[in-house]
Structure formats: structure tokens, C-alpha cells
Structure 1
Amino acid sequence: MVVKALCSLPQQGGWRGAVFMLVLGAVAALALPPLCFFPILPLALGLFYKAVCAAPGHRQAALWGFLFGMGYHTAGLYWLTNAILTRVHEFWWVVPFAAPGVALLIAPLVMVPALLCRSVPPGWPRVAMFAGSWTLADMARVFYFSGFPWNPLGSALEVPGWLGDWLIQPAALIGVDGLTLLLVLASLAVWQGRRGLLAVVACAGLWCGWGAWRAGHEAVLPGHVNPAVVVVQGNVTEDEVLGRDDAVSQFRSYLELTAQGVRDAQRLVPGRPAVVVWPESAFPGLLEEEGWARQAIAAAASGAPVLLGSDRRAAGVDRWYNSLMALAPDGHIEAIYDKSRLVPFGEYDPWILPFHLLPAEVVPGPGLMTWNLPQVGRVGPMVCYEIVFSGGVVAPGQRPDWLLTISNDAWYGNSAGPRQHLATGRLRAVEEGLPVVFVNNRGVSAIYDARGREVGRTEWGREQVLVRPLPGPEAKTFFALLGRWIPALMSLLFVGAALVGRWFDEKGRSV
């Protein structure tokens, strides 16, 4: 009775149906990290699917898709408002539009499955078309500006603890987009009668069983021993990062935490070389130009290399690189990685903005790379946003032994934003078969092994040091070999199967 009453709301059209679609999309966002309440998806996606199928025309079906997408992405990205609040005296008028504005750009993608599923017969062909086209449209988000593949539905399976470890293991085969495909399919299949429900239950049992087996086994490549990692979380607020009013005390605090972390590493992980990691925006200046600071950092690290974030001048122009630098034990810079995937609205102003939101723009670097450094080993460096890109975190032909991303999510406060960002690191570990070190300015920072199991983490909003021996890498996963071609081809197969169902339906009618 309740389901029938809910289904009748969008069929009535008007403002009630529109509000219902927005709310339904927002309810679906409860499945995203950090809540990961994925059992809500059969209800939210099921009601949305039924509303689209029952729409009297394509125009209303498209509208329902757009409104569902607006609700979903606005709720999932609500924390973007916090970034505007750091400069609220200048952009107070943008505050109500931060999350809805980004949602407005990507919500039209939800119109794709809403329209395409109506082109094939009801039943399994329509379910297959919806799931396949949803996934393909969602994967297309990498082409928005510099890419915005944030919050794919597959991340809903990243439940904290052992259950999440089990559920995300198939990402080693099909990636997070493959998880999205199967999760959407399962959410609709439970509405397809008893057989559909039984099929979902059986597949879920096999999924968890295989995931439990895989998560419970080690498969580290022999001879690959990674260093002990000293994660330094300075807990500097964004106002302090921007203002630099207390830069000297911030720097001293990082030096003290570094010295403490190196001592802890020598005591807790004897026999392994230690590497210290500071987050993005950790150094309050231009490290490349300040030799005294490099010497101070080297002295605090007592012979351990230090990997840390710092701005860097772009030669000949009034622009900047957002960089990750590797300091040798003697204080000289061994390697520099310049962030290549930039955040739209955060590091550059997209062409659609009629005004300048940023005081200065960041220049993109040449692309991903792998460092091979003494005491550090083979590491794939990234800065902040770049860890979000499934299948795009390893330089071609340069497979590292571990992945590192440094970030400053203090912009977004103690919200879902930093937790959603951290969740991407967990999935990248499973997809690539590589341990991931995620170091954040205020938290949450964490270390994951090559199967996405948590090795250690810090808390939000605390000045903290985390010392752990870094697990070794595994052999290349199936996903690491073929990347996003796998979920793309899977989705195309579902779309093709739906079209075949349409052909048989039309042929049956003509007989």
C-alpha cells in the first residue's frame, strides 16, 4: 500500500511529483560514504524507475531524471558549501548555489537512463538498459571540465570494517564503475518478481563469499618490502592556511611532529627505512626557494626522506603549481610532482563562470609519474583530487609499489566531504592491487593495504602522527590490466542485450 501511494505521486505530475523526485534523489544519497546505507537503493532507485516507466511522455521522463539527479548530487555534495564559507565575505551570495550549482551541471546525465530505458520493452530488457545506460552516463563524468567522477554509486559498498572489505573486492576485477552497474541492476531486479529477488540473494551470497575469501588472504609479491610510513597530520584550519598569520608556529609544529614520528618508527618498526609524509599545503611558503626550511625539515627527520606539499612558481608567468616534493636526508629536493588533474572552481575558473572565483589559478603538471627513490622505493605520487579517477592513478608502463596522495580537505570542514575523498583511496587500492597512503591536513588520514583493508587511520581535527609498516604490493589485478574498458564493455553488453530484447519483441508483434 505504501509503495503504491508513493508511486502515485510522480504520476500526478505538477509540483508534488517534482518535489517527490528531488526528495527521492536526496534519499538515494544516503547510500554514499560515510553512511553507506546501500539497502536504501532498491527503494529509491526502484521508485524512480517505476516513475520513469509510468511517465506519460519522454519530456516528463526526462524531467524526472533531471530532478532525481539534482536531489542526489545536491545531497551528496552538500559539503561544498563549506568551501565558500572560507571566503564568505567575498562570495556570500554564492553560498546557496555551491552544491546545487555543481549538481545542475551533472544532473542531466541521469536523464540518459530515464529516456533510454523507455525505448525497450518492459521487464528485463528495460532493467538491463537502465543499468547499462546509467553506468555509461556516470562514467562520462570524467569528461566534465577536468573530470568530476565523484560519488559513483559503487562507492556505497564501502561499508566500514570487514563487511565493506568483502563487498568491494570485485573492484579488483571490474572497478568501481562495475560495482555501480551491478548495484543498480540488483536494486531494480528485486522488483522483478520472486525470481529476481532470489537471483539477487544468490548472487549476493556468492559475492560476499568470494569477497570474504579474497579479503582474508595475503598475496604480496615476494621481494617487495615497502618502508615504514610516518603520516604527519598538522591539523591546520583553512583560515590559517590562507592567512599564514601563524606560519612560523605551524612550521615548528610540523617539525616537532616529524621528530616524534621518526623516533616512533625507529622504536615500533626497527629494521625498515622510514619515510615521512606531510599533507598538501603543509609548508607555509615556497619550499623550492627556501633552503633554510629544507635543512630544518631534514634535521627534524633525522635521516629519513620527507615527502610534502608546497606551492611552486611557474616560470615566467604569475601562476602556480600545486606540488608534491621529495626531500632527501640532506635537504635537497630529489623529485617534484606537479598536480595535473585540477579541481574546477577550486584551482581554476571554468569558462562558464562570468566572474573570477579564485584569486590565482594553478597550472597543471605534465601528468602522472612514478618515483624510484632511495629509502622510499617505487611510489606513485598524487595530489588531492587525482585519487578520485578510477583507472587513472598509475602512470602507463610505470607501475609503482605503493600509491601516495596528499590532500587538504580542511576546506570542507568536519563533513562527509573528507570521508568521501578518503573512500576513493580505499577503492583505488583494491582496483590496482597496491597499498595506498592518504595524508590529509586535518584528517581523516589513512593507510590501506593492497586489498583495501585499513592498516591505520587518524581522527578528524587532531594534531596526530600515524606510524605503520607499509604492506607490499600484489600482482596486477584484472582491472589494472584493462582499466575502465571492463565496466564500459559490461555496460554496453547490457545495453546490447536490451536492444536484442526489443528486436525480439518487435519481431513477435509482426508475426
Structure 2
Amino acid sequence: MKRLAQAVTLATGWRRGLLAWIAGAAGALAMPPLGLLPALFLSLTPAVWLIDGSVRDTRRGSLAAAALAGWLWGFGYFVAGLWWLGAAFLVEADQFAWALPFGVLGLPALLAFFPAFGFALARLLWSPGAGRLFAFAFALTASEWLRGHLFTGFPWNALGMALGQNLWLMQSASLVGLYGLTVLATATGAAPALLASDGPARRRWGAPVLAAALLAAMAGFGAWRVPADPLPSVPGVRLRLMQPNLPQDAKFHPGNRQAIMQRYLALSASRPLGVSGDAAAPTHIVWPESAFPFLLHRSPAELNQIATLLPPGTHLVTGAARMDDPLPGEEVGKFYNAIQVIDDRGTILGSYDKVHLVPFGEYVPKFLDALIRAMGLRQFVHIPGGFEPSGRRTTLTVPGLPPVAATICYEAIFPGEFMPEGPRPQLILNVTNDAWFGRTPGPYQHFAQARLRAVEEGLPLVRDANTGISAVVDPYGRVTASLPLGAEGVLDADLPAAIPAPVQARAGTFALTAMLLICLMAAMALRGSRPRRE
């Protein structure tokens, strides 16, 4: 271990850069769909040694050396973890293939500045002993929190997700949330770095043993928290999730509207395999995001077809673009990415408009939009000017269902943000269209993050995805029913009941703030108690 640590610490030039990139890329193996927890140690332990090496680097300045190592580490992590974004540029390759390098390499290059900041901040608090683990956990979690909030935020594959996939380990999110898991993941993943320290065995083995004990305690807490029996179901609710597995290509075109509609209707009226003839009829049918290549609320023929599909008392909850009436002087109204509720008469009872849009996917800043059009190019969505964000987050009311916290697509990756003000909802609904990314790790990562929201909030999750993964998840993160990625079909399931709001849902960021302060105080105290090596 000492030889390995010395090789990383003393590496210079391209060797140091390559080691940093490989270490970061290894961390992506801890994310879905692989979820290899040991990869976290293979990634974060060398990261500590890289910062150790920056302390010795006096040619460029130790802060700059740490930041550069952090940038290369982050570039490896995001390229290996987000390469699948390139699939979206190949859906309409004739128009967007030119932008593929910007998505596969450009976005990771920008995101890498966050761990670069984290490494530099850790260097400011660095000390040769165990204190550097606290400095590292504080600084890297702070950088991850910033990544999730600045510039509209992008907390995809936050390091805490390495612990947020296992049923028992993820239960700690009910206490500390995603970023609290990030503190724990960073500290435990970096702990083996101390095995290469000088001094007695107690100093070398203390942190790794404590890290192992912490993971064991988390697993024990999870095993205690998750009940042995299924939760009771909400009375009078029977869900049917329709997963059409419709490709995001030329087939999803206004010219195919009737064929698409017939596909939805036929699937929704079918009965999944394995369900007996006397199974309860669905009370609510759910269709995914972007279900229609047309405006449903302005299509009376299709609304009539939905009315014919729905038995009395049944409701459809579906993703659908909608448009406001144009204001005086406007040619077209504003477009919204929405969820609409339709009754058995074909009447739209209400809707939820998406608040947190995907930059460059659902909208482009106006000055860039004008530039793109001047170059003869267009944005991803076939919507003039892109979608508009809703100004406020509201509870979605669906007759027969408890109050709904609605999320569309990647809104579900933002901890706590999707919860509306006012009385606590009793259900998280996530409709999405991951067809852009095919059978890549992207849809698995998306589902895992939405699943963790159920644990944080103590609410069941109903997730309907065009190509999968569609599922019903209980408030403990247990998947009670699901359809796999790439399958066409319907899923009938009961709705698990909500549980009392866990600590994270009640306290918000209080636990994270306390954990960060503890790490900062410990790092500074241990830094001041030991002589510094410059």
C-alpha cells in the first residue's frame, strides 16, 4: 500500500494526470447500473494521495496542483458516468451528430470544475494525519452541493448515490438525505488512504476500521428500519402504468398521431401476463412524459378516444405538452411540459406544469436560441422557442388519489425541490421519457435517483417511463412492481401508503449542515494539532 501511495503521490506530468483521470473514472463504476461499492475506494483513496502530492508540488503552487488533479479526476468521473448522453445526439443524427463531442466531453469538462474546487478547498484544510479525511469529506461534499444548485443545478450521480442503491444502506437517506450520504461516502471511501501512513498500526488502521464499522452500522440501521411485511395499500386505488416503449425517432411524429394513439389505447386496455381474470380493475391509468406528438388539449378526437377507453370513475394521468392562448400581438402562446388529468368524459380536470426544465434540452437561453437559428440549426424539442417553466410548484389533484407531488423527467433528481408548499403530499409521481438514451446506464441512474426520493420523503413513488424503468416503489425504497427497460406492456399495482415524514423530510438541510460543520471543525482542529508539511 505504501508503494502504491508513493507512486501516486510522487507522480508528475502526464502520469499524474492519467492517474487522476483513471481514479475518477473508477468512481463511475459505483453508480448504477453496476453499483460496485468497492469502486468508491478505488476512486477516492487515490484522490487523497493526489492531494498529498499537491502539497509537495511547489513549482505551480499546491492549490493549483490540487485543483488540476481535481479537474482531471472529475473529468474522468463524468466522462465514464455520463457518456450515454451522446445517445441523444444520435436520435436525429443528421441534425445533431455534430454536437455529440460537446455532450460527451464538453459537459464533463465543465462539471469537472466542481471537484477541482473541492480538491483545492480540501488542500486549504489539509494535514498529514486523519484530519485530511475530514477536510476531504467537507470539501468534496461542498462541491457536490454546489454542483446540485448552481447554474440551475445538476446533481446527477452525486457521490452519495454509491450508498443510495442498496436497500439497507439507502435508509440513512431518511436521516441525512443525498448530500448527507455524500459526506459518508466520501469519508468512508477515502479512509483506506491512511493505510499508507507512517507510524503505529493503530494510526494506520483506525480510520479504515471506523469506516467499515460505519458502513456496518448503516446497514444495521437499514435492516432495522425496513419492515418485514409489505405496507398497507391505499384503499380504493388500483394503478395501471402503460409503458409503450416508443422510440424517440421519426416514428414519434405528428404524422403518426393516430398509430401512436391506437398503440396507447390498445396497451392500456390489455391485461398484463400473470393477472387473473378477477383482478381488480384499474382506477387510474398513467401514461409517460411526452406521450403525444401533438397538443392533446386541442385534440377533441383523441380526447373522445380516451373517454371511450376509460370506464366510469376511471382517470387518466398523462404527460402532454400544452399551450396557453397567445397574448395580443403574439403568434403562438407559451408551451409547457405538463401532466394532465383526464376523466371518463374526456375532460381535462387539471394539470401540473414542469418547473425545472432541462437546459439546452427543453429550452435554450434566448440569445443562444437566436444564434442557433441564425446558423440554420435548431434545438432538441420541436417547440417554437422551447418550453416555458412554471412559475410555482403546486400539488396535483387527481380524483381518487391522495395529494400528488408531481415531477416530470429529471425534476426527480433534485432532493426536496419537487415538494410543493402547504400540506404534505402522500405520493410522488414521476413521468419521464428516457427513450433519448436507449439501453444505456442513463435510465438506470435516473430510476435509482427517483427511488431515493421516496426514502428521503417517506412517500411512495409511482414512476411511468416511455421505455422504462416504470415502477411502483414504497416509502422504504422497495420496488413493489416494475417493468424492465426496453419492454412494452402495462403494469397493474396497488399504491403503498405513505409513512410519517422521516427526519430528512422534516429537517431539510439541517443534518447536512451539522455534518459539514463537524467535518470542518475536526479538519481544522486536527490541522492545528500537527506540524504542517509544506
Q: If the length of structure 1 is used for normalisation, what is the TM-score?
A: 0.92
Residues in 1 aligned to 2:236 and 2:70: alpha-carbon distance in whole angstroms: 47
Residues in 2 aligned to 1:118 and 1:145: alpha-carbon distance in whole angstroms: 25
- Does the 8 Å contact 2:240/2:282 carry over to 1? no
Q: Residue 240 of structure 2 aligns to which amino acid in structure 1?
A: V
Q: In the TM superposition, what is the alpha-carbon distance from 1:99 to its structure 2 partner? A: 2.2
Residues in 2 aligned to 1:266 and 1:373: alpha-carbon distance in whole angstroms: 27
Secondary structure of the residue aligned to 2:419 is coil
Match of 2:109 among 104, 109, 112: 104
Q: Residue 178 of structure 1 aligns to which amino acid in structure 2?
A: G
Residues in 1 aligned to 2:147 and 2:365: alpha-carbon distance in whole angstroms: 15
Counterpart position of 2:10: 11
Counterpart position of 2:286: 277
Q: In the TM superposition, what is the alpha-carbon distance from 1:10 to its structure 2 partner? A: 6.2
The answer to whether 1:486 aligns with 2:511 is yes
- Does the 8 Å contact 2:352/2:396 carry over to 1? no
Q: In the TM superposition, what is the alpha-carbon distance from 1:375 to its structure 2 partner? A: 1.8
Q: In the TM superposition, what is the alpha-carbon distance from 1:26 to its structure 2 partner? A: 1.0
Secondary structure of the residue aligned to 2:459 is coil
Gap change, CA 1:223 and 1:167, over 3 Å in 2: closer
Gap change, CA 1:455 and 1:219, over 3 Å in 2: closer
Counterpart position of 1:388: 413
Q: Residue 304 of structure 2 aligns to which amino acid in structure 1?
A: Q
The answer to whether 1:130 aligns with 2:127 is no
Q: Residue 370 of structure 1 aligns to which amino acid in structure 2?
A: T
Counterpart position of 1:337: 352
Residues in 2 aligned to 1:111 and 1:26: alpha-carbon distance in whole angstroms: 15
- Does the 8 Å contact 1:410/1:442 carry over to 2? yes
Deviation by residue 1:127-172 (Cα, 9 ceiling, x = unmatched): 101101111110112333322111111112344xxxx111100111
Counterpart position of 2:199: none
Q: In the TM superposition, what is the alpha-carbon distance from 1:364 to its structure 2 partner? A: 0.3
Gap change, CA 1:12 and 1:350, over 3 Å in 2: farther
The answer to whether 1:448 aligns with 2:473 is yes
Residues in 2 aligned to 1:269 and 1:227: alpha-carbon distance in whole angstroms: 13
Deviation by residue 1:316-354 (Cα, 9 ceiling, x = unmatched): 254411110000122111111110100012111247956
Q: In the TM superposition, what is the alpha-carbon distance from 1:38 to its structure 2 partner? A: 1.5
The answer to whether 1:323 aligns with 2:338 is yes
Residues in 2 aligned to 1:244 and 1:206: alpha-carbon distance in whole angstroms: 54
Counterpart position of 1:189: 191
**Which is worse superposed, 338-347 or 284-293?**
284-293
Q: In the TM superposition, what is the alpha-carbon distance from 1:377 to its structure 2 partner? A: 2.7
For structure 2, the 5+ residue unaligned runs are 195-203
The answer to whether 1:94 aligns with 2:99 is yes
Residues in 1 aligned to 2:365 and 2:3: alpha-carbon distance in whole angstroms: 44
Gap change, CA 1:350 and 1:339, over 3 Å in 2: same
The answer to whether 1:51 aligns with 2:50 is yes
Q: If the length of structure 2 is used for normalisation, what is the TM-score?
A: 0.88
Residue pairs, 1:196-211, within 5 angstroms: 196-211=207-222
Q: Residue 198 of structure 1 aligns to which amino acid in structure 2?
A: V
- Does the 8 Å contact 2:272/2:490 carry over to 1? no
Gap change, CA 1:115 and 1:291, over 3 Å in 2: same
- Does the 8 Å contact 2:164/2:173 carry over to 1? no
Deviation by residue 1:458-502 (Cα, 9 ceiling, x = unmatched): 122221100011110000111111223322331232112212333
Deviation by residue 1:396-448 (Cα, 9 ceiling, x = unmatched): 22311111010000001110111111111110000000000111001111110
Secondary structure of the residue aligned to 1:377 is coil
Counterpart position of 2:299: 290
Q: Residue 28 of structure 1 aligns to which amino acid in structure 2?
A: G
Secondary structure of the residue aligned to 1:489 is helix
Superposed CA RMSD in Å reads 2.5
Residues in 1 aligned to 2:414 and 2:429: alpha-carbon distance in whole angstroms: 14
Gap change, CA 1:323 and 1:488, over 3 Å in 2: same
- Does the 8 Å contact 2:434/2:467 carry over to 1? yes
Q: In the TM superposition, what is the alpha-carbon distance from 1:5 to its structure 2 partner? A: 4.3
Counterpart position of 1:157: 163
Counterpart position of 1:370: 395
Q: How many residues align?
A: 501
**Which is worse superposed, 50-59 or 418-427?**
50-59
Match of 2:502 among 477, 486, 500: 477
Q: Residue 16 of structure 2 aligns to which amino acid in structure 1?
A: G
Counterpart position of 1:212: 223
Identity of aligned residues (%): 34
Residue pairs, 1:251-270, within 5 angstroms: 251-261=261-271, 267=277, 269-270=279-280
**Which is worse superposed, 275-284 or 6-15?**
6-15
Residues in 1 aligned to 2:233 and 2:38: alpha-carbon distance in whole angstroms: 42
Q: In the TM superposition, what is the alpha-carbon distance from 1:60 to its structure 2 partner? A: 1.4
Residues in 2 aligned to 1:268 and 1:130: alpha-carbon distance in whole angstroms: 58
Secondary structure of the residue aligned to 2:292 is coil
Match of 1:79 among 38, 59, 84: 84
Residues in 2 aligned to 1:281 and 1:443: alpha-carbon distance in whole angstroms: 14
Deviation by residue 1:231-258 (Cα, 9 ceiling, x = unmatched): 0001110004653342211110111111
Counterpart position of 2:200: none
For structure 1, the 5+ residue unaligned runs are none
Q: Residue 330 of structure 1 aligns to which amino acid in structure 2?
A: R
Gap change, CA 1:409 and 1:191, over 3 Å in 2: same
